[in-house]
Chains A and B, each alone.
Chain A
Amino acid sequence: MSIDQATVARIAALARIRLTDAQREAAAVELSRILDWVAQLDEVDTSAVEPLRSVMPISPTLREDIVSDGGRPEDVLRNAPQRSGDYFVVPKVVE
């Protein structure tokens, strides 16, 4: 499996990660190597195997419908890179 630079660019855009030209070139080589290496899984016959969904048979915890959180806007906002009053401020989303 060989990954070209265009594919790297598409994946990087999907993951919202800026890469320099050099990083993109290197990533194409590295990712191709890794994908070649993982391709050995094709040797395993898994035709009758269900994908694993939870490793331990734990019955999931459910929460009761009780308000137990919120009402702490400072906790939510105090790490914000930019805020205005009790709002987060982010770059303009173009409609």
Chain B
Amino acid sequence: MTSELTRLTLSGALERLSRRELSAVELTAAHLDAMAAARELNAFITETPDCALAMAEASDARRARGEVGPLDGIPLAVKDLFCTSDVLTTAGSRILDGFRPPYESTVTARLWQAGAVCLGKTNLDEFAMGSSNMTSAFGPVRNPWTRPGENEALVPGGSSGGSAAAVAARLCLGATGTDTGGSIRQPAAFTGTVGLKPTYGRCSRWGIVAFASSLDQAGPMARTVRDCALLLEVIAGYDPKDSTSADLPVPRFSAAVGRSLAGLRIGVPREYRVDGMPDEIERLWQAGAAWLRDAGCELVEISLPHTRYALPTYYIIAPAEASSNLARYDGMRYGLRVQGDSLTDTYMATRGEGFGAEVKRRVLIGTYVLSAGYYDAYYLKAQRVRRRIADDFTQGFEHCDAILTPTAPSAAFRAGEKMDDPVAMYLNDVFTVPVNLAGLPAISVPAGLSDDGLPLGLQVIGRPWDEETVFAVAAALESAAAFDHLPYGLEA
């Protein structure tokens, strides 16, 4: 059950709010109804209807006084990796049991400051470690999409699967995600939505539960490129509380949407034609290239020779950082404590029971690669290869202004698939991970349907700090693809 109001885009809703054709309370209530009707998706861990309505009322009051923020009255969902003041924050894990932060993350604080309304906290892979949303301690999220005529549950991708599903199912007008190795872009591709990972340092990491600090970056998820640009305008910006946040001006990203692409050079990396890539992905990629050529771009083949080493590099660096970042979850000051016979026993029991299988696996790998005798062979080696991967992009961008690739090597897969084979699961991120290693901005735009009738995404990668070109190219793809399919069941 969806009302006409939940079909609006974020930009469309802003227009109707500003014309007073719609109140924030009406808009919020419609989304709260949609959330209540879509609980089988398990997209939210915590719904905050009371808070949402209070915020909507305050927004309407502001609008009546003429004090309107750039996102005033827009109902949004927040990935439950962002700490929200006094609101349960779980990171999809048992170990944070009952944790209510005494602070608000910088990114969400900026959203509420801009007038947005918080609908609730969305489900995710535990500590954002996963590509399927199957590792959440609060159960898997169901992709609102199914194969035509089937009812078998598909994954929404991960780790921002709850946010992606909520955006796709019209439960919110936009959402926050975080992307460490593809966690915004891959679920966006799997759910037919748009998701952007900004340049590392563009958005503050303060108040976001850390997974891998040198890779984590928050970003927007929405149904259009313009909506993502509007969200990024609000959440981006320098934050003195994050040492890795860049002190740079925030451009008006939405102005880049619709910009002419004439003369722009688009790189197509040879090495992304990976073995066994399905034909439908290859066809989509070529279609994307053709659309951009039609838009006035010059297509150039480029080489990113170390692409195949990105995943193994990532699966050393990310677990290493995570093993240390997750040491604070020890049952001493907050969250779950499983009392043992001794201090050590309590640590072991708390972390043994509090963490799920994938988190344990990565913490063990990370501990191993940092341990005495292995640090040089694994961690330092990976940081050296990482530099080569980053250098590949620097050289690639000497020949082009943006790079076009598929977002993921497949469409959404069945819930439970690939669970027994971590390496096969990790391969989902083959096109997204290099971007995080190099700190670059990249977006996923829905570009078509697979042979099975499931959404597929194209990825546009930009130079550091050049989200504007990324948005401009993405908008051209969006307009050429004219992706107007709805998840089955929502079409009517």
Contact = CB atoms under 8 A, between A and B. Distances in A.
The reply, when asked whether chain A contacts chain B directly with Cβ atoms under 8 A, is yes
B331 A17 contact: no
Interface string A36-72: 0111111110100111111110111101000000001
A29 B83 CA distance: 36
Given A31-B368, A44-B309, A61 B247 contact: yes
A56 B330 contact: no
A17 B352 contact: yes
Interface in A1-34: 3, 7-8, 11-19, 23, 27, 30-31, 33-34
Contacts of B270: none
A38 B320 CA distance: 13
B382 A41 contact: yes
Contacts of A12: 364
Interface in B94-141: 98-100, 102-103
Contacts of B355: 17
A9 B243 CA distance: 36
Contacts, number: 172
Given A30-B422, A41-B382, A15 B309 contact: no
Contacts of A76: 102, 333
A52 B331 contact: no
A81 interface: yes
B386 A52 contact: yes
A13 B363 CA distance: 12
Given A11-B367, A79-B100, A93-B343, A56 B348 contact: no
A8 B246 contact: no
A51 B380 contact: yes
Contacts of B247: 58-59, 61
Contact of B384 (A15, A46, A94): A46
B351 A34 contact: no
B471 interface: no
Nearest to B353: A18
B333 A80 contact: yes
B200 interface: yes
Contact of A11 (B371, B382, B384): B371
Contacts of A63: 240
A86 interface: no
B418 interface: no
A78 B246 CA distance: 33
Given A8-B364, A40-B312, A56-B199, A61 B242 contact: yes
Nearest to B368: A11
Contacts of B388: 44, 46, 49
B245 A52 contact: no
Nearest to B381: A41
B364 A27 contact: yes
A42 to B, nearest CB: 8
Given A41-B385, A44-B309, A55-B390, A79 B367 contact: no
B196 to A, nearest CB: 17
Nearest to A24: B364
B334 A46 contact: no
Nearest to B337: A81
Contacts of B337: 81-82
B383 interface: yes
Interface string B380-411: 11111111101000000000000000000000
Interface in B198-251: 199-201, 214, 240, 242-247
Nearest to B336: A81
B7 interface: no
Nearest to A44: B385
B378 A92 contact: no
B482 interface: no
B163 to A, nearest CB: 24
B269 interface: no
A61 B243 contact: yes
B382 A91 contact: no
Interface string B140-170: 0000000000000000000000000000000
Q: Give the top 5 A-B pairs by smallest Cβ distance, nearest first.
A: A18-B352, A51-B383, A79-B334, A55-B439, A75-B102
Given A54-B244, A91-B340, 19 more contacts: A3-B368, A7-B368, A11-B368, A16-B330, A16-B347, A17-B352, A23-B357, A30-B422, A38-B312, A53-B383, A55-B439, A56-B200, A56-B246, A75-B103, A76-B102, A79-B99, A81-B331, A90-B346, A91-B342
22 contacts: A8-B364, A23-B357, A27-B361, A27-B364, A31-B368, A35-B365, A40-B308, A42-B381, A46-B385, A49-B384, A49-B387, A55-B214, A56-B244, A58-B244, A61-B240, A78-B100, A79-B100, A80-B334, A81-B331, A81-B334, A82-B337, A90-B332
Interface of A: 3, 7-8, 11-19, 23, 27, 30-31, 33-35, 37-44, 46, 49-56, 58-61, 63, 72, 75-76, 78-82, 88, 90-94
